[in-house]
Each structure stands twice: as structure tokens, then as C-alpha cells.
Amino acid sequence: MSNKHFKGWQFPWWEYLQEEPVDAGSGEPQRRQFGASGSAKVAPDMPVTGVRRAILGHNQDMRVTSIALVMDPKHLDCRKHPGGKIEPGESREAAIVREIDEETGVPLNPHDEFESLGRFSDSKGYVFDFGATFVPEEFLWKSVEAKGVGNEGEIIEILPIDILSDPNFLNGRTERGENAPLFWDHREPTMLLPLVIAAWEEEHRAAQAA
């Protein structure tokens, strides 16, 4: 099937992601630090060493209803977007298809375009390319249920999309203790998702109505 990927450059906040602070003395690009989250946006020409995708489920009305996240068996207190390192000799696109299949069971079309929403560094020093892919919600559920667990034991969760509006989700647990935070290096790209989702819904609902 052909998955729907978000074309980030069509929207104003993409320009913000492409802006890079410059050291006043050396004139060299600097990584932008994002407050307490600790994640850093990196210059567009920095070599990508890993990939991450927000996997989002939508209904027939082109409303985004859910998001798929994974938990490493060694870090069950934190969730993350599926993805991982690019293997030697592997293209960015091939790495996205492989990692998403290995961790969630969602089969992406290798012939699709995988647009980037920005490049971020993680806690291990990797530079990962972040993007968003939208799939029908029933397809997402069937793929995850068929997979069961990731190839390395990752626990796969499909959460309602309104989890992104929970102010505690990025930084800590809710009062009920049900929602573990994302890894610190996933927080900043996750903060973009409400904007991404709103723009995607507007674009595809308009196309559906035409």
C-alpha cells in the first residue's frame, strides 16, 4: 500500500527548523538546545546516522486518531518513536522501511518519499532524521497485532492521539501513573506533531472533499 507522508516544507514552521544559530566568534553553525528536554536540532548538512518516524493512524474522515510508540525492554519507563541506526551501505529510505517493520510490523512502501521534518541529535550522539507517516487506523492495528513485539523485544503501543495534549506526557508521568514520558531526545520533535497533524488533516480533508 502507499502510505501518506507529510511534506513539511509546505508549512511556515519548516523555516524555523532550517534556521540554525551561528557562533558570533567563529561563524560556525551551532546546535540549538531546547531547554529542559536536552534534545538538540542540528544543521541540515550534518550527516544522518539514524532515522525516526512518527507512525500515526487516521480514520476514514482523515482525522488522526492514534500514534504508535515503542518501549525498549531495557527502558520500560520511557517510550520512543520507532527507528534506529542506519546500517553501513544502507540508504536513509531503506533504513526507515527496515526499522519501522522491525519495531512495529508496519510495512512501508520503499518507493514512497520519506520527507524530513528535521534532524535532531540523541542522547548517544547520533543524528537522526525525523518524519511522520500516516496510515489507516485499522491497518495500523492489524500490523501491530500481527507483529506482537519488536525484533529486539520492543513493546509496541498504540495510544490515542490526545495523549499529545497531556502536559505531562513529554516530561513525566500523569497523576494516574499510566503515561511514561518519551526519551528526552524525542521530546522536541514530538512537540512538532500537533502542528504537523493539523496541517495534514486540513490538506487531506480538503482533497477528500474536492
Q: Which domain holds residue 148?
A: 40-209
Position 57 in a domain: yes
DSSP string, 55-85: EEEE-TTS-EEEEEEEE-TT-TT-BB-SEEE
- What local confidence, expressed as pLDDT, does residue 124 receive? 73
Across 94-129, b (16+ Cβ under 10 Å) vs e yields ebbbbbbbbbbbbebeeebebbbbbbbbbeeebbbb
pLDDT at 174: 44
- Give the pLDDT score at 15: 42
25 in any annotated domain = no
Please give the pLDDT value at position 9: 35
Residue 24 included in any domain? no
Is 17 a domain residue? no
Phi, psi of 36 (to 5 degrees): -70, -20
Residue 124 lies in a domain: yes
CATH of the domain at 99: 3.90.79.10
Mean pLDDT by 10 residues, the chain (210 residues): 42 42 56 40 74 95 95 82 94 95 94 83 80 95 96 94 82 53 78 87 84
pTM: 0.79
Q: pLDDT per residue over 129-163, tens digit each?
A: 899 999 999 999 999 999 999 999 999 999 999 98
The verdict on residue 19 lying in a domain is no
Residue 10 lies in a domain: no
Structural domain count, the chain: 1
The answer to the question of residue 18 being in a domain is: no
